[in-house]
Amino acid sequence: MTLTQLRYIVAIADAGLNITLAADNVHATQSGISKQLKQLEGELGFQVFTRRGKSLDAVTPAGGQVLERARSILHEARNIRALAANLREEAHGELSLATTHTQARFVLPDAIARLKQHYPDLGVHIRPQGEGRIIGSFESGEVDLVIVSTSGHAPEGGIAVPLFRWYRRAVVPHGHPLAKLGRPLRIQDLAEHPLVSYESSLLPESSLRRAFAAAGHAPRIACTSADADLIKTYVLAGLGVGILAEMAIGAGDARELVTLDIDDLLPVCTSWLVLRRDHVLRSYVAQLARFVAPQIDEAELRRVVAGHAEPNWPVPPLWSELQQRGTRRVASRAA
């Protein structure tokens, strides 16, 4: 029995018993996987999968038990490799992460650049996705970690580490009626205009819809996008009032857009780093977490991820506070 055989049967199960797809996922040949499966079943003395003609039909009861243990063994094998790499202080590897377009575009560039300075041989693969697909890609094993935001409870599916809190902003072109109000905005003001916002605003449970409903209104969503730059583009095209994360608004946007404070209208959001449980944390992952959120204690993070401690995270700072710290850091380096 080999780790390769165990990896193949798990790949078959994860591919819905489609050997061709499983072979593609593990970069093997279909005949190679079939041969290893036959050898493993011969050693076990029973079938892991039942057959219907030449196709696999279902996982046998005994096969289900084998798969459960195979996943545990493969998990620990990955932990041993990670531990060995940390002990050797290896500076190379592959890191894949899923997050929103906003986080990928406006939050991560500086942190990834600093990470690459410490680990120049590290390959970083960023997969921008819509909010609803991020956790799914993590649970399926497509990525190593995710950064996702919520306006309420922590995301499920792994160990959720709070990074920072942020507010949304409304943006309108210069000359827009809302830019001339001369008073704080109310939900009623926003309800009188079509909105351009994130795709998540379409969900019935979205915090934007809940805030409108609490004030007795319903938002008029004219256009949605997962990309904050596209939201600004369509606001300038006259489709409506933009609602987007404060991180996505830069100094250069003031040439064409007016940014309006809506902190009191919509709940604060929290960005979370979600990691796998009971893992040996690679050094570059812990470093990335620190670069995004300096308040995180690396030793505590390692203990929690390894299952040796319960999480007791500090209150995450506001994004504006992190930006001020970053400005001071740059200024001190320049001095």
pLDDT score, position 88: 56
Q: Does the pLDDT of residue 332 top 70, yes or no?
A: no
pLDDT confidence tier of residue 190, bands split at 50, 70 and 90: very high
Q: Do domains 91-166+269-332 and 168-261 have the same CATH topology?
A: yes
Round to whole Å and give the CA distance between 79 and 84: 8
CATH number, domain 3-86: 1.10.10.10
CATH class belonging to 91-166+269-332: alpha beta
Return phi, psi of residue 321, to 5°: -70, -40
Give the best-scoring range by mean pLDDT among 38-47, 130-139, 236-245.
236-245
Q: Look up the CATH architecture of domain 168-261.
A: 3-Layer(aba) Sandwich (3.40)
pTM of the model: 0.75
pLDDT score, position 303: 87
Contact criterion met (CB below 8 Å) for 62 and 46: yes
pLDDT confidence tier of residue 89, bands split at 50, 70 and 90: low
Domain boundaries, the chain: 3-86, 91-166+269-332, 168-261
Place of tokens 């798969």: 67
Side chain identity at residue 124, one-letter code? V
- From the list 259, 292, 288, the residue with the least C-alpha distance to 165 is 292
3-state secondary structure 116-165: HHHCCEEEEEEEECCHHHHHHHHHCCCCCEEEEEECCCCCCCCEEEEEEE
pLDDT score, position 137: 81
For the chain, the average pLDDT equals 89
Q: Write the DSSP symbol of residue 106.
A: I
pLDDT score, position 160: 94
Q: Does the pLDDT of residue 272 top 60, yes or no?
A: yes
Side chain identity at residue 54, one-letter code? K
Round to whole Å and give the CA distance between 182 and 180: 6
pLDDT score, position 283: 84
Average pLDDT score over residue span 104-133: 91
The dihedral through the CA atoms of 6, 9, 14, 15 has a sign that is positive
Give the best-scoring range by mean pLDDT among 31-40, 71-80, 85-94, 259-268.
259-268
How many Cβ atoms are within 10 Å of 285's Cβ, its own excluded?
22
How many Cβ atoms are within 10 Å of 276's Cβ, its own excluded?
18
pLDDT confidence tier of residue 92, bands split at 50, 70 and 90: low
Average pLDDT score over residue span 288-306: 91
87, β-bridge pairs: none
Contacts of 274 (CB under 8 A, 6+ apart): 135, 138, 145, 146, 147, 148, 155, 157, 158, 159, 160, 161
